[in-house]
Amino acid sequence: MTQLSLACRAACTAVTLTSLATAQYVVTTDDASDRLIAFSPVDGSLISDNMFSIPNSVQVGAIDVNGEIWVTEQTGDRVVRYDTMGNVLGSMGPTLPGGGMDNIRGLNFINGIVYVTNDGTGNGATADSLVTFDPAGNYLGTIPLAFSPSPFTVLPFGGDLLVVSSSATDDLHRYSTSGVSLGTFHNSAAIGFGHAACIASDGNVWVSTFTSDTILKLDASNGANILQTVPTDNARGVFELQNGNLLWTNTSGTWVHDFGTATNTLVRAGSNYNLFPVLPNANHIKYGTGCHVGTIDKSNLFQLFADVGQAKAALDGNALHFAFTGTGYTATWLAGVASGIYVPPSLAAPIIANADSITTTITPSVAIPVPGGTTATWTVSSNGVVTAGSAGNQTTTSPGTLTSTSTATGLAFYTWANHNPAEASSGKVKWEELGGVLFITFEGVEFSGGTPTLAPSTFQWQINETTGDVVMLWTTFSSSNSTSDVIVGCTLAGAGVVPVSQTLATATPLTLSPDVVLSPMTLSAAPAPVISPGTNVTYTIGGVPELFPGAGLYFSTLILTVNPFPTGLDLVGILTTVPGCKLYLSALDVNIGGAITATPFNTVPLTFSTPTFAPGNVIGAQGVGLYDGSFALPNGESSGFLLSNAVRSITQTQ
């Protein structure tokens, strides 16, 4: 704790908080990372790269409905209600009482009613319509749009509605709030695919053209007049910033168009949709990601050989022993032992997998121990893969790739290449049980491809039916000059991350076990920081690391600042030893709530009230967890520090 304590003694002093920003963001959904992203309405700078996670179902619009955030799911055919911390409050659709939603896009909250643009007819929906809800999520009815084919966006306009269509028949059409047509507002070749629109600061209308590579300003008094053309690239969302520039989105991310320099600058890469201002009142939002996040691959051991020659040089005469541990195996390379432990199949050994790219499922006399239980059957592929169970991994595909092994779900042992026992003069794949051992042997099986024509391989699996140990051995691998890949090794059951190629002879001894999933430290806050008269807010730190294995104790503290830092500073080499742990505060102004707890959670109360806080104060907070660095984490981190995501809190009088 020494480095952090020194920093805090220098910076963690009482501060007088002053109003720094208005309590508002511009948000968009990101289809690339499945997150809600927040930007400054003033200059478009990034505020939160990870406001909260959303499902992978093409989220077109996200709006504020009385402090809730409502998000449309275009492929999910529903609207989901969230609080600002990302907790689901409810959802509407796909079916509704007397109606439904199908292929929904943008939405807007206008005069107490939420209007959702709907294109399809599935789930009982009405094609080309607006589906309406009250702020509690109650379905109010569906409004057909006779002049808006494939509607994409709806916005308020002079007490009425403007609907933007993605079909170039009636680009922007004006309706009353009850759906009565008030005539075409704009229709021209300049808008091929209308995506989004917003009201400009001068009262005119900005509209994005997804296929025409422009954002247009349309005359509010006569929509046919195009007042300004802004060059973009397949624009989706559009929002006019308080500094007069434009924030806009496309499949590459979120951009700012600077009118002074006539340039577009990427603010954040992604695949973004409509832009809307949200949260004009007191609120908390999350930003950043706690450290560390990801999956550590413990369940695979593979070596990828770029060609058959490399495989032969590494494998001939050697063996690989997998000692069963109950949850996995400990793999050990055994050099030069193959000929001494190889057991030739008897004349009575059955032939299996006797064709090109085919499998055979065999049933030994006893169930054999495997991680998680036993297996009564094994599936043998003629391409050199032996899988526990009746569903084989990579049953008919070759050559192999490491990526494809990550999606296979069976426990399997590999000498995976394009073997073909059906070739002329080829040996056969055989199996039998002898002395409590299951033997699966590729006896002189030809490799398909390359020269010489006769280039057989002989290798074997020996599976101990009592202990569950597995030995793979190679007496002679093919002498083919083929450049096809060969993959050798083992994967435990279950899909996982893409494994890396390791040199089997030097990577072992190595223990295979279930993958380790690293869950990040977390920080949340509730209720909203209303300062009239005052609110007791609870910051909750979660995922705190144990002080040391078996301690049953957890230490954490909360750091506050008046200077949030959304992009973050990676602390590798400063406080941490592994990349991916970021500080999201520009200064460490206040340190509160340090505590040792009996669970990996710490709740830190903070009262927001006047005169300490004023309307519009922006407070950044981040949790810090400490542990004994002599016990490294599974990813090798040994600094003794972990940090949570950050929370940005804005105070208001309501």
Structure tokens at 550: 């078996």
Per-residue confidence (pLDDT) for residue 341, from 0 to 100: 97
Torsion of CA 244, 248, 252, 257, to 10 degrees: -30
Give the residue-averaged pLDDT of 581-589: 94
Residue 33 has pLDDT above 60, yes or no: yes
Two structure tokens written together for 64? 């504020």
Distances (CA, A) of 461 to 473, 508, 525: 7, 18, 56
Please report which confidence band the pLDDT of residue 440 belongs to, taking 50, 70 and 90 as the band edges: very high
Q: For residues 213 and 204, give the distance between their C-alpha atoms in angstroms, rounded to a whole number.
A: 20
Confidence of residue 398 (pLDDT cuts 50, 70, 90): low
**Interatomic CA distance for residues 274 and 350, integer angstroms:** 64
| For residue 491, pLDDT beyond 80 | yes
pLDDT band at 12 (very low <50, low <70, confident <90, very high): very low
Q: Is the pLDDT confidence value at 22 over 60?
A: no
Q: What percent of the chain is modeled with pLDDT above 70?
A: 96
Instruction: Read off the pLDDT of residues 92-117 as tens digits, 9 standing for 90 and up.
Output: 999 999 999 999 999 999 999 999 99
Residue type at position 35: R
Give the span between the Cα atoms of 76 and 100, in whole angstroms. 12
SS3 label, residue 472:
strand
Q: For 307-328, what is each residue's pLDDT tens digit?
A: 999 999 999 999 999 999 999 9
Q: How confident is the model at residue 391 (pLDDT cuts 50, 70, 90)?
A: confident
User: What's the pLDDT at 349?
Assistant: 97
Structural domains in the chain, CATH included, are: 24-280 (2.120.10.30), 296-516 (no CATH), 521-650 (2.60.40)
pLDDT, average across residues 353-366: 95
Stretch 332-351: mean pLDDT: 97
User: What are the distances in angstroms from CA 454 to CA 84, 149, 316, 478, 480?
Assistant: 67, 66, 17, 9, 8
Residue 481 carries which side chain, given as an amino acid letter?
Answer: N
Q: Across-strand partners of 564?
A: 585
Residue 177 structure tokens = 């709030």
For residue 627, pLDDT over 70 is answered with: yes
User: Over 50: is that where the pLDDT of 279 sits?
Assistant: yes
pLDDT of residue 401: 86
Residues 515-532: pLDDT tens digits?
998 999 999 999 999 998
User: Rounded mean pLDDT of 549-559?
Assistant: 97
Tokens of 82: 């969230």
**How far is residue 453's CA from residue 504's CA, in Å, rounded to a whole number?**
29
Given a cut of 90, whether residue 370 has pLDDT beyond it is yes
Residue 596 has pLDDT above 70, yes or no: yes
Sheet holding 205-209, edge to edge: 194-199, 205-209, 214-218, 226-231
